[in-house]
Chain A
Amino acid sequence: MNVKLSLKVNGKAVEADVDPRTLLVQFLRDHLHLTGTHVGCDTGQCGACTIHLNGRAVKSCNLLAVQAQGAEVTTIEGLAAPNGDMHPMQAAFKECHGLQCGFCTPGMVMSATALLKDNPKPTEEQIRAGLDGNFCRCTGYHNIVKAVQTCAGGR
């Protein structure tokens, strides 16, 4: 039996009728067509599907859409300013070349923004530990860490 779901996604109220086994990432990508959130491993390990649920970074492939009942969800599409200006973290990833193929990038950016919210001036070690739940198979993480440091430094 379908479930009535009502939540906020990127600031907009969303009402839907979903099969309860719908994963949050399926709901975002297939129902709302917000395909910036990626499915990498689909087993809750790689973090490519990271979004913010009530302000916290979580893996949307490892949650049911119904678990976001009444919640506020932010995806990578919701980070930039309405006029299209990049979020400072997105700008820092661009400036520091914190990506190569780009597949992990939406999840990295969502994790990194949540990390700085909790700890605005992290050490390099804290950044590396804080991004433990996100895999990048291209960059060796070096420029990703640099991007987070750049964003934290306000440069």
Chain B
Amino acid sequence: MYAFQYHRPASLGEAATLLGKLGDGKALAGGQTLVAAMKLRLAQPSDLVDLGGIAELAGIQADGDALVIGALTRHADVAASADVRKRIPALAHLAGGIGDRQVRAAGTLGGSIANNDPAADYPAGVLGLGASVVTSQRSLGADEFFKGLYETALKPGELIKSVSFPVPKRAGYAKFANPASRFALIGVFVSQAASGAVRVAVTGAGNGVFRSAELEKALTASFTPDAAGAVKVPAGSCNGDLHASAEYRAHLVSVMAKRAVAAALG
């Protein structure tokens, strides 16, 4: 690992100020991706701003028709939260399926979505529920937050504070996990809001999480597993690599959508 300067601010404001003035500084949340990348010298930040000392960033709170989850809340805490399990069980299920137990005890919601790995689980949950990402500067809708391969709308020095998840009428998440990494070969998150509006987010397929217009249309007409399974996803919307061809991924999208709807219907 290359050397870096280490900072441990006590507040979000102090962390944002530091990151704003440090050229190649990076924020450290749980470190489950960043520390590994630094060990391989794939990342070489000049400074690390450790958010681990900022108590205000962790926790889960009900706020009317939404659940607000702090950026530094660990996956294991989301998976085990009675509030999340009761109000958005699909999100608890998603968090409980990330990586392995040790990763879930360290990795965080904010770290995951700020990194925006194209095969990560949380981006599907955030986009599939139409959540809002609250930062040190503003509130961003999920549709404007994710910008493609490892890219988000976050500006230099802008830090995620929390994510506000609207509680849906029902939701489901299904993933076909890579057997080695547990990243999603394909993961599909479906939700139906109280208004009836349907959202479908797909992770693992392309250069970043995306919504499937075909699946949303089919499920708006009929929110059933069969309606999802009947949608033929074009292979052109998926990437192929050594783990799976584009055709196989496209096929998996409708299979996972079908399972996600079945899970949503309980």
Contacts and interface: CB of A to CB of B under 8 A. Distances in A.
Given A47-B100, A133-B102, A69 B31 contact: no
Interface size, B (range): 20 to 34
Interface string A114-146: 110010000000000011110000000000000
Interface stretch (B4-12, B187-195, B218-226): B4-12
Interface stretch (A8-16, A53-61, A77-85, A96-104): A53-61
Given A64-B35, A67-B50, A114 B6 contact: no
Contact of A111 (B6, B48, B101): B101
A69 B102 contact: no
Interface residues of A, number: 31
A44 interface: yes
Interface in B76-132: 76, 80, 99-103, 105-106
Interface in B130-165: none
A63 B101 contact: no
Main secondary structure on chain B at its contact with chain A?
A: mixed
A20 B4 contact: yes
Contacts of B48: 20, 64
Contacts of B38: 21
Nearest to B181: A45
26 contacts: A1-B5, A3-B6, A20-B5, A21-B38, A23-B1, A23-B39, A47-B100, A50-B102, A53-B105, A56-B76, A57-B101, A57-B102, A58-B102, A58-B105, A59-B102, A59-B106, A62-B31, A62-B32, A62-B36, A62-B103, A63-B106, A69-B52, A131-B101, A132-B101, A132-B182, A133-B102
Interface of A: 1, 3, 19-21, 23, 42-45, 47, 50, 53, 56-59, 62-64, 66-67, 69, 111, 114-115, 118, 130-133
Interface of B: 1-6, 8, 28, 31-32, 35-36, 38-40, 48, 50, 52-53, 76, 80, 99-103, 105-106, 180-182
